[in-house]
Amino acid sequence: MAEYPYNNRTFQILDAAEKGGYAVAAFNCYNTDGILGSIKAAEKLKAPAIIEIFPWSMHFHGPEFIKFAYEACHAASVPIALHLDHCTLEPDVYKALELPFDSIMVDASSQDPEENIKFVRHIVELAKERGITIEAELGRIVGGEDGVPTVDMETLYTEPELAAEFIEGTGVHFLAPSIGNVHGPYPPGGPEKYWQLDRLEMIKKLSPSAILVLHGAFPIIDDLMKKTIELGIRKVNLNKNLHDHYLEFLGNNVGKLEMTQLQEKSIAVWMEEAERSIKLLGSDGKAA
């Protein structure tokens, strides 16, 4: 039997992506529609995937919802992991370690580098005892997202040399670098203007074994996304990319369709965008 972290679902999925040179879609989900739509899309395309929820769900939905999400992921016909995204509060991290997550993003990026390293290393040690892998952010990816504070400051980029030190010093399994990517809307010019691909390339060069994660991927620019995958991105977090069409459909059809039809058709809308993302990242067919 494989030993940690090779027996961890998220690590298995992303390690395979690293070896195969593709990226895996990580779908931010807020309800059962998102979870079911993402799983159905991954199964249809025979693709590995990751379901992501925010700490908000631990508090609003409660532990039974987390168990449902975990069981739905692990019952799928393709490899799917359950990940907790942007766990910024220390009590939430400890709470998450007692719940059935495959992986947790410990977001202490707003702290100074030494405190970030110290805290992440501590959590990595605790997580190992529970078979959970850890993602962390280095630098500061600005902007606002559910449960993620908006930072009114210029982007703090990840320094490649510090990234190598951070990975070694913490033992973190996955790293989300700041290369100009933004949570939420971009300023004029969009990702094409702000993403520093040369910085991403240097991070991977100095940390060749690192499994890298991309946050702030909206709007998706196909050519730009493919370039980041060439440079080492193996997990792409998807949020607004999926929710815009889904929410538009709900807004136009609430009160017009029966509840069963509304749910089925809204999940189909979610699946369309999820499938497009999976194909773009090159993970379709990888779980065949």
Q: Spot the catalytic one: 15, 33, 85, 107.
A: 85
* Catalytic residue list contains 85: yes
Query: How many Cβ atoms are within 10 Å of 175's Cβ, its own excluded?
Result: 22
Active site residues: 85
